[in-house]
């Protein structure tokens, strides 16, 4: 397990990798940034307390290296074709798609999502959080340079949202649920990307906040599987409440903050005449909300027993509890605050 100082170093290089990738003005520089980012994330994954992370880091390494190598190869090929031979074949409409595909593999959009659940299953919650938020920033930003509306992009978006909704059905592991939710939100971010206007950045920011909120509540109650939420003591009632309300917020239930980016994206898609796609995406989000609500209901009402031996206390977790409470109140009232602020301006 890396020591704290090593962690600080690696987190710094990880973030600088992202910054290099998003701010470079050549594809080679972008590739370099992605590589620095990957090489600092791999050692962060290691943990001596269990063995799953070795498998996870190996899987992650192989997939990401495949993606970077493909990206570099495509970029070099494009440059060579343009500079040396001025071949016409690279000028065809599929060049952006060819460069976008490895970036989609990197960010885990379906159908390139197969590595994602397996990798998440072997990571600690902190690393899961990094994988779902920071690690998606650079590929999405790079995609925003060349993505365009066509059949390829639309089918990626649709498969991502459908996979996210169907894949999460009947999952019992919290990590799996968060993974499929992440795949789904990648699809929504791609949809925000093709409507233009940096809308995806707003979506990404709110999504990251919500993911961190859910993760802090999950960490606080040390839950890895859904059945562990059914039996809890009275003290943990509050953490349970925070966990499920922020999960519903992540699922886009109207009064919560998570509905805001969803609303904006649907609005923009309708303005851009993508109503059929928006309809399908809304239907998939309905499937999601169905099973999120099912989980929340059963955990709150049906099986809420308190076993006698469940005497663990949360006394030494006060600071974590306070930060989780602040975050989940943002996720609960964020949208109302936004509308009040817009009304005042
Ligand atoms: C996918 O994202 C949409 C929009 O935020 C949301 O309504 C839906 O519940 C999400 N589905 C999953 C599986 O997270």
Domains of the chain, residue spans = 4-301+316-344
Nearest CA to ligand 1 atom 12: 181
For the record, the structure tokens of 324 come out as 């989780």
For the record, the structure tokens of 199 come out as 């809308």
Q: What is the pLDDT of residue 231?
A: 66
Give the list of residues 6+ apart from residue 91 with CB closer than 8 angstroms, or none: 82
With a cut of 70, say whether residue 308 has pLDDT above it.
Answer: no
Q: What is the pLDDT of residue 229?
A: 78
Nearest CA to ligand 1 atom 3: 285
Q: What is the pLDDT of residue 318?
A: 79
Cβ of 256 closer than 6 Å to ligand 1, yes or no, is: no
Ligand 1 centroid, distance to 333 Cα (angstroms): 19
Atom of ligand 1 nearest to the CA of 182: 14
Ligand 1 centroid, distance to 61 Cα (angstroms): 28
pLDDT digits (tens, 9 = 90+) for 87-115: 555 556 677 888 899 999 999 998 999 99
Cβ of 176 closer than 6 Å to ligand 1, yes or no, is: no
User: Using CA atoms, how far apart are residues 1 and 50, in angstroms rounded to an integer?
Assistant: 10
- Measured in degrees and rounded to the nearest 5, phi and psi for residue 225 equal -130, 155
Atom of ligand 1 nearest to the CA of 181: 14
CA distances from 157 to 137, 163, 185, 280 (A): 17, 10, 10, 10
Reduced to 3 states (helix: H, G, I; strand: E, B; else coil), residue 313 is coil
Q: What is the pLDDT of residue 314?
A: 54
Nearest CA to ligand 1 atom 8: 285
Neighbours of 28 (CB within 10 A): 12
pLDDT digits (tens, 9 = 90+) for 49-66: 778 888 899 999 999 999
Q: What DSSP state is assigned to residue 78?
A: H
With a cut of 90, say whether residue 228 has pLDDT above it.
Answer: no
User: Using CA atoms, how far apart are residues 287 and 272, in angstroms rounded to an integer?
Assistant: 25
Ligand 1 centroid, distance to 106 Cα (angstroms): 20
Average pLDDT value for residue range 259-284: 93
Write down the residue that tokens 């993606």 correspond to: 67
Q: What is the pLDDT of residue 39?
A: 94
Task: Give the confidence band of 235 by pLDDT, cuts at 50, 70, 90.
Answer: low
Site to substitute for ligand 1 among 159, 188, 289, 290, most atoms within 8 A of C-beta: 188
Nearest CA to ligand 1 atom 2: 185
Residue predicted with more confidence, 92 or 23 = 23
Q: What is the pLDDT of residue 237?
A: 77
Ligand 1 centroid, distance to 198 Cα (angstroms): 20
User: Using CA atoms, how far apart are residues 78 and 75, in angstroms rounded to an integer?
Assistant: 5
Q: What is the pLDDT of residue 85?
A: 58
Task: Give the confidence band of 219 by pLDDT, cuts at 50, 70, 90.
Answer: confident
Whole-model pTM?
0.90
Ligand 1 centroid, distance to 93 Cα (angstroms): 31
203, 188 Cβ separation under 8 angstroms: yes
Cβ of 187 closer than 6 Å to ligand 1, yes or no, is: no
259, 334 Cβ separation under 8 angstroms: no
37, 14 Cβ separation under 8 angstroms: yes
Q: What is the pLDDT of residue 299?
A: 82
In this structure, of 81-95, 132-146, 205-219, the range with the lowest mean pLDDT score is: 81-95
Average pLDDT value for residue range 169-178: 92
pLDDT digits (tens, 9 = 90+) for 149-163: 889 999 999 999 999
In 3D space, the residue among 89, 184, 115, 107 whose CA is nearest the CA of residue 147 turns out to be 107
Q: Of the spans 67-76, 233-242, 298-307, which averages the highest pLDDT?
A: 67-76
Cβ of 175 closer than 6 Å to ligand 1, yes or no, is: no
Cβ of 262 closer than 6 Å to ligand 1, yes or no, is: yes
In 3D space, the residue among 141, 136, 181, 115 whose CA is nearest the CA of residue 41 turns out to be 136
pLDDT digits (tens, 9 = 90+) for 113-129: 999 999 999 999 999 99
Residue predicted with more confidence, 103 or 312 = 103
Report how far apart the first and last C-alpha atoms of the chain are (Å, whole number): 50
Site to substitute for ligand 1 among 179, 181, 257, most atoms within 8 A of C-beta: 181
Ligand 1 centroid, distance to 9 Cα (angstroms): 34
297, 240 Cβ separation under 8 angstroms: no
For the record, the structure tokens of 121 come out as 């299953």
User: Using CA atoms, how far apart are residues 184 and 206, in angstroms rounded to an integer?
Assistant: 15
Q: What is the pLDDT of residue 71?
A: 93
pLDDT digits (tens, 9 = 90+) for 175-190: 999 999 999 999 999 9
Average pLDDT value for residue range 326-341: 84
CA distances from 46 to 33, 63, 131, 215 (A): 22, 17, 14, 19
For the record, the structure tokens of 8 come out as 């600080």
In this structure, of 154-168, 201-215, 227-241, the range with the lowest mean pLDDT score is: 227-241
Q: What is the pLDDT of residue 51?
A: 80
Ligand 1 centroid, distance to 285 Cα (angstroms): 5
Average pLDDT of the chain?
87
Task: Give the confidence band of 47 by pLDDT, cuts at 50, 70, 90.
Answer: confident
Nearest CA to ligand 1 atom 14: 181
Reduced to 3 states (helix: H, G, I; strand: E, B; else coil), residue 58 is helix
With a cut of 70, say whether residue 303 has pLDDT above it.
Answer: no
């Amino acid at each position: 397990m890396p020591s704290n100082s090593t962690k600080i170093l690696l987190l710094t290089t990880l973030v600088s990798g992202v910054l290099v990738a998003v701010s470079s003005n050549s594809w080679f520089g972008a590739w370099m940034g992605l590589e620095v980012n990957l090489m600092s994330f791999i050692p962060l994954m290691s943990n001596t307390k269990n063995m799953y992370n070795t498998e996870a880091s190996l899987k992650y390494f192989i997939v990401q290296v495949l993606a970077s190598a493909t990206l570099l190869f495509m970029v070099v090929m494009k440059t060579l074709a343009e500079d040396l031979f001025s071949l016409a074949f690279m000028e065809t409409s599929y060049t952006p798609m060819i460069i976008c595909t490895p970036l989609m593999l990197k960010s885990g959009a379906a159908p390139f999502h197969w590595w994602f659940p397996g990798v998440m299953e072997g990571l600690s919650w902190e690393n899961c959080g990094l994988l779902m938020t920071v690690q998606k920033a650079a590929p999405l930003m790079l995609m925003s340079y060349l993505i365009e509306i066509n059949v390829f992009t639309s089918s990626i978006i649709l498969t991502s949202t459908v996979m996210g909704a169907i894949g999460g059905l009947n999952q019992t592991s919290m990590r799996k649920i968060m993974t499929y939710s992440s795949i789904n939100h990648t699809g929504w971010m791609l949809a925000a990307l093709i409507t233009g206007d940096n809308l995806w950045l707003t979506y990404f920011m709110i999504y990251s906040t919500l993911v961190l909120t859910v993760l802090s509540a999950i960490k606080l109650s040390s839950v890895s599987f859904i059945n562990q939420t059914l039996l809890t003591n009275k003290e943990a009632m509050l953490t349970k409440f925070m966990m499920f309300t922020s999960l519903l917020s992540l699922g886009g239930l109207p009064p919560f903050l998570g509905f805001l980016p969803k609303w904006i994206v649907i609005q923009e898609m309708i303005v851009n005449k993508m109503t059929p796609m928006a309809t399908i995406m809304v239907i998939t989000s309905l499937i999601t909300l169905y099973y999120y609500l099912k989980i929340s209901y059963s955990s709150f009402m049906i099986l809420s027993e308190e076993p006698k031996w469940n005497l663990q206390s949360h006394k030494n977790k006060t600071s974590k509890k306070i930060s989780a409470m602040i975050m989940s109140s943002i996720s609960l009232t964020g949208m109302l605050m936004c509308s009040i602020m817009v009304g005042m301006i």
